[in-house]
Amino acid sequence: MFKATIQDISVVKDSLDAISSLITEGTFKITSNGLSLVAMDPASVAMVIFNILPSAFLEYECSEESEMTINLPNFVSVLKRARANDKLKLELTESKLKINMEGDFKRSFAIPLIDTPHGSQKVPELSFKSKVELFANVLKDGIKDASMVSDCVVFEASPESFIIKSFGDLSETKLELTKDSPSLLSIESQETSKAKYSIDYLEKMLKGVKPTDKLLLNFSTDYPIKIDCNKIDKYQLSFILAPRVDTE
């Protein structure tokens, strides 16, 4: 059986909120290493790899491995009901996930488990030519700029700089970080990588990150991007997104 207590739900809630904008039904594997979720969005364009570490919890008890498939937006709605100082207890029963909140008074919620015929998703093996580490607010700014003129954005990494740009019918936007920009934490690029991604997906993925969060972008030319947004001792979270490739 699985039981766990968490004091500060906010860290996990924001990530789950972003994930639930991509994926409705999610299957968590529950082991002594934490709760892990690997899932594709319905259009098979994006993948989520999420692992909440046991150290994110005050107490974490898992006697045997199990699976739990739940409606993620419903789960997030319940988590959003927690008051600031509530202690949350999760408990898995045969048919339900129970969530107890204890603060000034006691509240309890139950979410039904969903039968799932799907086997679990496999994480694809990917190797990337460019790795860019930067603050979330810069990435969000560049994407928001781009959204004014297009529904997709181009990322371009060279050994010297990282560029976020977009082209509309006649308009253009461009955000450039050079190696000496304080906003660019690190860049490793063996060659120039250039690829185009959906703004809509990126915005959903970045919904939960804070402006000062550090993100690692991994990509190559016309190749998927993997965005890592990890929180030490709390969770590992990666999003993989397929590129848009022009077929002209």
Distances in Å between the alpha carbon of 156 and those of 11, 236, 240? 31, 25, 17
Which residue, 54 or 73, is less far from a second copy as judged by CB? 73
- CB of residue 3 to a second copy, shortest distance in Å: 18
- CB of residue 30 to a second copy, shortest distance in Å: 20
Which residue, 49 or 149, is less far from a second copy as judged by CB? 149
- CB of residue 102 to a second copy, shortest distance in Å: 11
- CB of residue 46 to a second copy, shortest distance in Å: 26
Dist. CA 96–CA 112, nearest whole Å: 4
Dist. CA 106–CA 48, nearest whole Å: 33
Give the phi and the psi of residue 175 in degrees, each rounded to 5.
Answer: -120, 125
Strand partners, 156: 163, 194
Which residue, 151 or 233, is less far from a second copy as judged by CB? 151
Which residue, 18 or 139, is less far from a second copy as judged by CB? 139
Which residue, 44 or 212, is less far from a second copy as judged by CB? 212
- CB of residue 195 to a second copy, shortest distance in Å: 20
What count of residues does the chain have? 248
Which residues form the interface with a second copy (CB under 8 A)?
74, 77-78, 81, 83, 96, 104-112, 138, 141-142, 144-145, 148, 169-177, 181-183
Nearest Cα neighbor of 157 from 119, 122, 126, 195 is 195
Strand partners, 234: none
- CB of residue 152 to a second copy, shortest distance in Å: 17
Which residue, 57 or 109, is less far from a second copy as judged by CB? 109
Helix (H) or strand (E) holding 208: none
Which residue, 112 or 159, is less far from a second copy as judged by CB? 112
* Residue 29, both tokens: 């594997």
Q: Judge whether 136 and 215 are in contact, CB under 8 Å.
A: yes
Angle at Cα 41 formed by Cα 226 and Cα 205, nearest 5°?
A: 45
**Region at 16 (left for phi over 0; alpha for psi -120 to 50; beta for the rest):** alpha
- CB of residue 147 to a second copy, shortest distance in Å: 10
